[in-house]
Structure 1
Amino acid sequence: MKNYGLNELRKMYLEFFESKAHLKMNSFPLVPKNDKSLLLINAGMTPLKPYFTGQEVPPSKRVTTCQKCIRTGDIDNVGKTQRHGTFFEMLGNFSFGDYFKKEAIAWGWEFVTKVLQIPEERLYVSVYLDDDEAERIWHEDIGLPKEKIVRLGKEDNFWEHGTGPCGPCSEIHYDRGEAYGCDSPDCQVGCDCDRYMEFWNLVFTQFEKTEDGEYLPLDFPNIDTGMGLERLALMMQEVDSIFDVDTIQALLQKVCALAGVTYNDDSVKDISIRVITDHMRSVTFMISDGILPSNEGRGYVLRRLLRRAARHGKLLGIEDKFLAKLCETVIEVSKDAYPELVEKKDYITKIITLEEDRFNETIDQGLGILKSYMEEMDKEGKRELTGDRAFKLYDTYGFPIDLTKEILEEKNLTVDESGFNHEMEKQRTRAREARAESNYMGSAETIYHKIDPSITSAFVGYDHLTYTSPIRVLTTEDAIVNTLEKGSKGTIFVAETPFYGTSGGQAADTGYIVTETGKFKVEDVVHVIGNKIGHMGHVVEGKIDVTQEASLEVDSKQRQSTVKNHSATHLLQKALRNVLGNHVEQAGSQVTDEKLRFDFTHFQGMTEEELKQVEDEVNAKIMEGIAIKTQEMTIDEAKKMGAMALFGEKYGSKVRVVNMGDYSVELCGGTHLSNTSEAGTFKILSETGVAAGVRRIEALTSNHAIAYYKELECLIKELAKVLKAEPAMLVKRAEQLLADNKHAKQENDQLKAKLSKGAADDLFDQVSDIAGIKFLGAKINDVDMNGLRNLGDSLKQKLGEGVILLITANGGKVNLMTMATDAAIKAGAHAGNLIREVAAVVGGGGGGRPNMAQAGGKNPDKINDALEKAKEVLMAQLSK
């Protein structure tokens, strides 16, 4: 067989099916859309589910893709074996009610034997136990001998996922030779050994599985095939594992070079090499699709993969940061198929570097926590770390369990691994429950799913705020209806609408839909499955019938205010990139008629100067009066113009480009101003952090900004009245008052200190003897904690050896401070333990070292009781 590279094989496959009239679609992002059952795309067919169900009309009845996928179910086995991985690419050809088994099988065989020229004698197929049709096609049409066709059961050759479309499979297998076999005389297709490798699964989706478990024939059966690109490359290059495939091997060798090790020299080091190689492919693609490290969801998966790779780098002896260097190799070998990797290279490397820094910090923190656990174990005479503590180290501090075990073993200690695994399973259960069981589509069925998929809506609101269009569908929350009566809630679908539906962060329009018999208030507008736009609201007059023409009227005042804020977000993003750097990417937005909210990638809080620069730049561009133009073009044309795209967004063949002169060029489907000057003015209200590496700006434009300035003006005037100063002199007046207050406080503190020192001599009348140790317990009036400490130091010098407890009521709260000298400690006194019990009497808590401790409470009435309690506790300590 010819040795084809992985990138060649991808190209050959897609071109072959394009020659069979398939539309080649680019890979969908790794983040699923409208699918709550998944954190990440895990198969080629997953993003195409709406086409299989008929809920959306596909762009072509024949489609072919190479879909990037991630599966983390076997993450703990990655590295330990040569077959497990988290990232892979899946080749697929799909038919949505067009061709079926005969063509799928024939083209599969043609590609394998004619294009790839795999020898027929090394190929076998399996079919579902009851699928006589598939066996007949393989035998009679293709000419495959029956002894090369194996029938397998439901577990192996029937595809289903809960309820919904499903059907039998036929798999193509490759005989790798006796060297990969298990030496069993029964070894054949279906054996668990590595000899007969399944590499292409042809799924014949011909049934609909109901809630009752029935399998009903579909009117229009579908084809869904999947072939792992890495597995195909392994086979064609005749290597032992996916880690020996050309593109993956390039990354693996980079790992070895950085670590100064050789692959296949040390089985333990090989595990780390494979972990790093696999995980860096995953994280590079995840970040390129807009996923950021976090402590939940897909962000947690990313963080776990990154930290696992970093940990194994340390095991290989790599001391410096190295992960960003590896992602450069991933980008280099994958850039032809995924050009977005090159576009986002700086951003990807920045995220990886920051997360590696963060991991190094948590490792140091985790080491400190583990050390304290080990000290406690030593004091208590225990030899095993509890499972919950090991899990806390792992879950909270990112401390790998194998590192915990390794450090413990150095001290001849162990960890309760079963307890750790129990805590891990509890977390997985919580995650599963959070995602919930779902149907085939991974999202709840609504009444909108029952609307005829041929009914679609067109948006005409770029050019119109009023429009006349026929009503196509009326629904309530749970039924498709012919009429909506006065007072009833529902959704109206029309052929063409000027109403903008919530999308891309821009809030929906509101307004009215009027017919000859009724009036409907539009309160929200939503995009629903199948390219339909639903107008949600209620009937305020008369009734609405499905057969009527409708006059649609958008609230123009609200639209105009929303548009001002939306155009301002484009100016804001460009200004942020100019001030902070090109790592800034949009991470979310919300644009309403009242204000704008813009989330962006940045890794520290902005300074006042940076915020001022951004605000000034946006206002300068508003004042410049730049004409705003929109154009439709292909995605490639848009990219040539330098248009910015949203992370993880799947764009169609045609995109809308919003151009604000030479300043800002972005892909955007929202509505915009015709000139930047129409925004009026721009004011930033706040800048905050919302997640690791994500900041948020909230801002106002136009009339809302002016109203904000007027409110500030009123506040300044009110403050000027209170402080008895002209507005222009407010700062100077405030500084003067602060200085006067500081001086008065210093005088007050000095006076209190004198009074306390003067009272110190009187306190010695309260010294008592407890088991041969001097004890001074006293109530002090109106002294803060600093005053107590100062007084305690003074008393200790005069007292000599002994224990001091001072309690004060200050502002309705209780402060306690205790000190013990060396001789008192040797006799058994412990200031921290003493104050913990005494503070409980006054409704508080605290603790500290043996020689000094402090606490707080909230019940001043119990101070005398606390002093008596102190004598009891000290007596108990000294008696031991």
Structure 2
Amino acid sequence: MKQYGVNELREMFLKFFETKGHLRLPSFSLIPQNDASLLLINSGMAPMKPFFTGEQEPPRHRVTTCQKCIRTGDIENIGHTARHGTYFEMLGNFSFGDYFKKEAIHWAWEFLTSPEWVGLDPNRLYPSVFAGNETTPADDEAFRIWNEEIGIPAERIFKFGKEDNFWEHGSGPCGPCSEIYYDRGEKYGCGKPGCTVGCDCDRYMEVWNVVFSQFDNDGENHYTELKQKNIDTGMGLERLAVVCQDVDSLFDVDTVMNITNKVTEITGASYGQSREKDVSLRVITDHIRSATFMICDGVLPSNEGRGYVLRRLLRRAARHGKLLGVNDPFLYTVCDTVIQENEGHYPELRERQAYITKIIRVEEENFAKTIDGGMRIFDDMLAGHKEKGESVFSGADAFKLYDTYGFPIDLTIEMVEEAGMTVDQAGFKALMEEQRVRARKAREALGDLGWAGIEFGKDMPATQFVGYTQTEAQGQILALVAEEELRDEVGTGAEAIVVLDQTPFYAEMGGQIADHGVIKTDSALFEVHDVQKNKGGKYMHTGVVKAGALKVGDTVTASIDVERRQALARAHSATHLLQRALEIVLGDHVNQAGSLVEPDFLRFDFTHFSAMTPEELGKVSELVNQSVLHGYPVVTNEMSLDEAKKTGAKALFGEKYGDTVRVVDMGGYSVEFCGGTHLDNTAKVGVFHINSEFSVASGVRRIEATTGLKSLEVMNRNQERLFEAAAILKTKPGELREKAEQTMEELRQMRHLVEKYKAKEAAGETERFLLGGHSVGELKVLTATLPDADANKLRQMGDLLRDKQPNVVAVLSSVNGEKITFLAVCGKEAVQKGVKAGDIIKHVTAICGGKGGGKPDSAMGGGSNVLKLDDALAAVDDFVAGKLGL
């Protein structure tokens, strides 16, 4: 079996199902869309629930994906076991009312066992089916397909109960599932008598799970057949790689181990050196993978929801770095390795590398400020408990670490458990509740101003936004929030929200992300990393106090990062030009369906029924850049909604508008309702460059593009590559095409000559082989192993032998790693005497644990047991003699 890499297996799976008529979709974001039941996407089918329920028409009724997933239920076990991980990729093939059990099972078996695909040994694979219970019948159909059609003996098909082989989640579509287990061998087993499929040890690993969605559960365990039956297949990519690479765990597969190697290089800790260091290396490797993908998809560290999951992962990883002796921020330096291992399938990682790295570095630096002082306090607390002979770390101490030093409770629990003690979690929760009560009372005094800042007191004025015309403004601090409490003052190192009476900072809205910058006094400096606007119109500036202290009532100077604002404006103005160009090229049915505006980067979702052709994309790009070169003035006006409609301004994205709206007019070419920040002239957009266009949902397409400096970076990089290619080919850039064509022609001629020499060499080898043959009856039999020969060379040699000697029977073989390739040929006289190449190849491949077949005069096959190769070749004489009746 070839040891395929993770990236090879991913592409192989998707290509396989494309050959079966499936539409390949890109991975959906880790952030669930319109699904409040999930914090993060945790399975391949989760983003496609609307297709399964019939709420939404799928882009095709056969779909295949490789979905990014995060599961956080076992974070505390990460590193301590070889099984648990937070980030993983789920390979899936899905049918929405199309094919069902027969095709799903046959294709699973073909992909896993065929030499053209993964090529696993079929004798090491064991399927399982649903055994049935008092409410739901056994899945006899799946059993019959495995037994009668695939040919698995009944004793090798395992029947399990509802917990293992039935998928359901409350009421709604559900059904039995069939899993495929791979026997990894005795070295991974528990050694107990009767160890088999279903044992908790690591010997039998589940590599495939196909769910047959055929019932509807009314919520009271009453099941009725669904009219539209669906297929939901899930296979962990890393699990499959563990099997194919024959490694101990998901931490040992190539793309993950390469990340660990980078961590090892930074920390100096060797994998396998000790259990404690292995735990830390695994924690760091797993968590930095997860964090990189989460941030790329838009998750930011925070104290709630998915943002807290990210913060928890990064802080846990940073602490394990300290356990390995690394006291300075280092996680951000591992990002490049994570990206390098995954950018082939997820190019957005490289595009957003600077952003991802910055977020991780800021989080590491902020945590370092809290943990250094807090660790000394923790050590003193721990020592105090031990001196008293106590085995329980008090809830009061855990709360103080959380409230004063920013230690997440799970981090305290982990450190205490490492010291052989437990935390009084009930006491901690009681103190947390007391704090919440105090905070609630404080919020009531101001109208419920909390960490999220949902509502403010009626007497507090809304923040006045002056950022359309000003990049710096004086303001007064109306409120401060830190650690979910109102504060009169916040000091150095504190993460806080600052509310001002007026601000130049644009709050995240309409797809445009917030401004960054600083808020300062003569003695204090606050870095702003995010700005949100609440329902009461207050702008909440989130960030970190870098120096001094801020107090409620302080007069401050708020200054935005002007270069970043300009880059945002370039991308935002470009979305308006793009919208108009799409309408011209594709038609008036095009409507905006979502957007993201970042510095010199834009993501634009729009309604359209099919993929855009290269010609259409070229025309759209041309129109946008023409609009840039025209230098249209960008004019913004506030007017009544009725007046705005009369101008023909386009309202986007199903927005609800008030009586007064803001209209952005770009020289009459594009006129739209918009509350974002823009350039004053389209010429300042710079070069507009489309990176990609793809589907994100049925009837919705997405364009990702760059403007300004990012486009120039792409152009400069392409120009550098052009000059490099010209230098390699020793020509001028303007003559590169002609030189490339000339070089390709020379290569073609050289290959032709090489093939001629190979043919002569093969003819000479054929003569030598024939001299080494021996007689079995009236036939001449020969066997040989050709080192490093590929399938083409075997065929070429075989054809020459067969055509040269009518009475020849030849079996040729070659070995590549653990995979054997066989070729058998029979001359005309041999075939006439009943000796057929297809029969011979079946016989010899079976000896080596493989299979094959073909025509009477030529057949090929494969095997996996190299140790049996000599036995297989030696068996040819007896097989031929038997056919001749000798």
Please report the TM-score for the alignment, with normalisation by the length of structure 1. 0.53
Report if the CA contact (8 A) 1:230-1:245 is conserved: yes
Q: Equivalent residues in 2 for 1:337-416 (5 A)?
A: 337-367=345-375, 369-370=377-378, 385-394=393-402, 397-399=405-407
Q: 1:332 to 1:663 in 2, by over 3 A?
A: farther
Q: In 1, are the aligned partners of 2:394 and 2:423 still within 8 Å (CA)? A: no
In the other structure, the counterpart of 1:420 is 425
> How many angstroms does 1:384 deviate by?
5.8
Deviations 1:602-638, CA, capped at 9 Å, x for gaps: 99899655478889999999999x9786233899xx9
C-alpha contact (below 8 Å) 1:387/1:416 kept by paired residues: no
* Matched ranges for 1:698-709 at <5 A: none
Distance 1:217 1:629 in 2: 45
Distance 2:528 2:580 in 1: 23
1:175-214 equivalence runs, <5 A: 175-214=183-222
Pair 1:380–1:273, CA change in 2 (3 A): closer
Q: Partner amino acid for 1:630?
A: R
* Corresponding position of 2:19: 19
Q: Distance in 1 between matches of 2:601 and 2:337?
A: 24
C-alpha distance in structure 1 between counterparts of 2:169 and 2:332, whole Å: 38
Distance in 2 (CA, whole Å) between partners of 1:383 and 1:349 is: 40
| 1:90–1:678 CA distance, 2 compared to 1 (3 A) | same
Which residue identity lines up with residue 128 of structure 1 in the other structure? F
> What is residue 71 of structure 2 aligned with on the other side?
71
Contact kept? 1:388, 1:420, Cα under 8 Å:
no
**1:476-527 Cα distance to aligned partner (Å, 9 max, x none):** xxxxxxxxxxxxxxxxxxxxxxxxxxxxxxxxxxxxxxxxxxxxxxxxxxxx
Deviations 1:62-94 (A, max 9, x none): 000000001111111110111211110000000
C-alpha spacing 1:620/1:375, structure 2 compared with 1 (3 Å): closer
- Determine if contact 2:507/2:531 at 8 Å carries over to the other structure: no
2:50 counterpart residue number: 50
Measure the CA separation in 2 of the matches of 1:190 and 1:319: 44
Provide, for residues 306-352 of structure 1, a one-character-per-residue CA deviation record: whole Å limited to 9, x for no partner.
Answer: 00000000000112221011111101100011111011100000000
Instruction: Give the match for residue 117 of structure 1.
Output: 119
Alpha-carbon distance between aligned partners in 2 of 1:156 and 1:194, rounded to the nearest angstrom: 17
| Distance across 2 between alignment mates of 1:86 and 1:618 | 33
Given that 1:384 and 1:415 are in contact with CA atoms closer than 8 Å, whether structure 2 keeps it comes out as no
Provide closer, same or farther for how the CA distance between residues 271 and 658 of structure 1 changes in structure 2, counting only shifts above 3 A. Answer: same
* Distance in 1 (alpha carbons) for counterparts of 2:108 and 2:53: 24
| 1:326 counterpart = 2:334 | yes
CA gap of 1:643–1:19, structure 2 versus 1, over 3 A, is farther
Q: Does residue 128 in structure 1 map to residue 78 in structure 2?
A: no
Structure 1 residues 405 and 142, CA, compared in 2 at 3 Å: closer, same or farther?
closer
Residues 353-398 of structure 1 deviation map (CA, whole Å, 9 limit, x = unaligned):
0000011011134246547857997999989641342255257634
Q: Structure 1's 677 and 21: CA in aligned 2 closer, same or farther, altered over 3 A?
A: same
**What letter is aligned with 1:345?**
Q
| Closer/same/farther in 2, CA of residues 371 and 148 from structure 1, 3 Å limit | closer
Q: In structure 1, what residue type is equivalent to 2:581? A: Q
> Please, which of 287, 293, 310 is the counterpart of residue 301 of structure 2?
293
How does 1:462-473 map onto structure 2 within 5 Å? Answer: none
State whether structure 2 residue 156 is matched by structure 1 residue 156.
no
Per mean C-alpha deviation after superposition, the further-off stretch among 379-388 and 92-101 is 379-388
Partners of 1:269 and 1:128 lie apart in 2 by 41
Aligned pair partner of 2:274 in 261, 266, 275? 266
Q: What corresponds to 2:230 in structure 1?
A: 222
Q: CA deviation at 1:647?
A: 11
Q: Supply the distance in 2 between the matched residues of 1:622 and 1:327 (Cα, whole angstroms).
A: 28
- Structure 2 residue 246 is matched with structure 1 residue 238: yes
1:255 maps to which of 250, 259, 263: 263
Within-5 A mapping of 1:440-459: none
1:790-831 Cα shifts (integer Å, max 9, x gaps): xxxxxxxxxxxxxxxxxxxxxxxxxxxxxxxxxxxxxxxxxx
Please give the per-residue CA displacement for 1:391-440, whole angstroms capped at 9, x wherever unaligned: 55257634377986899899xxx896151377579999x99xxxxxxxxx
Change (3 A) 1:83 1:90: same
Asked if 1:62 corresponds to 2:62, the answer is yes
Report the equivalent of 2:636: 679
Question: One-letter code of the match for 1:366?
Answer: G
Structure 2 equivalent of residue 302 of structure 1: 310
Please name the residue that 1:461 is paired with: none
Partner of 1:846: none
Distance 1:29 1:362 in 2: 32
Distance (Å, rounded) in 2 between the aligned partners of 1:567 and 1:364: 33
In our comparison, the structure showing a higher alpha carbon Rg is 1
User: Relative to 1, partners in 2 of residues 1:608 and 1:150: Cα closer, same or farther, differing over 3 Å?
Assistant: closer
3-state DSSP class of the match of 1:679? Answer: strand
Where do residues 724-803 of structure 1 align in structure 2 (5 Å cutoff)? none
Alpha carbons 1:629, 1:659 under 8 Å: kept: no
One-letter code of the match for 2:78?
V
Deviation at 1:7, TM superposition (A): 0.2
Question: Identity over the aligned pairs, expressed in percent?
Answer: 50
Letter in 2 for 1:101: K
Q: Letter of the aligned partner of 1:82 in structure 2?
A: A
Structure 1's 24 and 588: CA in aligned 2 closer, same or farther, altered over 3 A? farther
> Partners of 1:567 and 1:303 in 2: how far apart?
22
Moved more, 609-618 or 2-11: 609-618
SS in 1 for 2:94: strand
**Are 1:307 and 1:398, in contact at CA under 8 Å, matched by a contact in 2?**
no
Secondary structure of 1:310's aligned partner: helix
> For the residues of structure 2 that align with 1:27 and 1:331, how far apart are their CA atoms?
16
Q: 1:237 to 1:298 in 2, by over 3 A?
A: same
Amino acid at match of 1:91: L
CA distance 1:574–1:279, shift in 2 (3 Å): closer
Report what 1:99 is aligned to: 99
Mark the CA change 1:426 to 1:297 in structure 2 (over 3 Å): closer, same or farther: farther
| Other structure's SS at 2:581 match | strand
Q: 1:381 & 1:646 partners in 2: Cα distance?
A: 59
Which whole-Å CA distance do the structure 1 matches of 2:316 and 2:601 have between them? Answer: 32
2: CA distance between counterparts of 1:362 and 1:210? Answer: 51
Separation (CA, whole Å) in 1 of partners of 2:415 and 2:633: 61
Do the aligned residues in 1 keep the contact of 2:91 with 2:234 (CA within 8 Å)? Answer: yes
Amino acid at match of 2:245: Q
- Helix, strand or coil at the partner of 1:184: coil
List aligned pairs for 1:841-852, cutoff 5 A. Answer: none
Q: Per-residue CA shift, 1:222-246, capped at 9, x if unaligned?
A: 0000000000011001111111100
CA contact (8 A) 2:568 2:599 kept: no
Q: Deviations over 1:694-741 (max 9, x none)?
A: xxxxx99679xxxxxxxxxxxxxxxxxxxxxxxxxxxxxxxxxxxxxx
3-state DSSP class of the match of 1:193? coil
Provide the rounded CA distance (Å) in 1 between the counterparts of 2:252 and 2:567: 52
Cross-structure match for 2:320: 312
- CA shift, 1:677, in A, is 3.6
Structure-2-length-normalised TM-score: 0.52
Change (3 A) 1:84 1:567: closer
Runs of 5+ unmatched residues, structure 1? 432-564, 578-582, 666-673, 683-698, 704-880
Structure-2 residue corresponding to 1:487: none
CA distance in 2, matches of 1:159, 1:349: 39
Alignment match, 1:167: 175
- In structure 1, give the amino acid aligned to 2:47: P
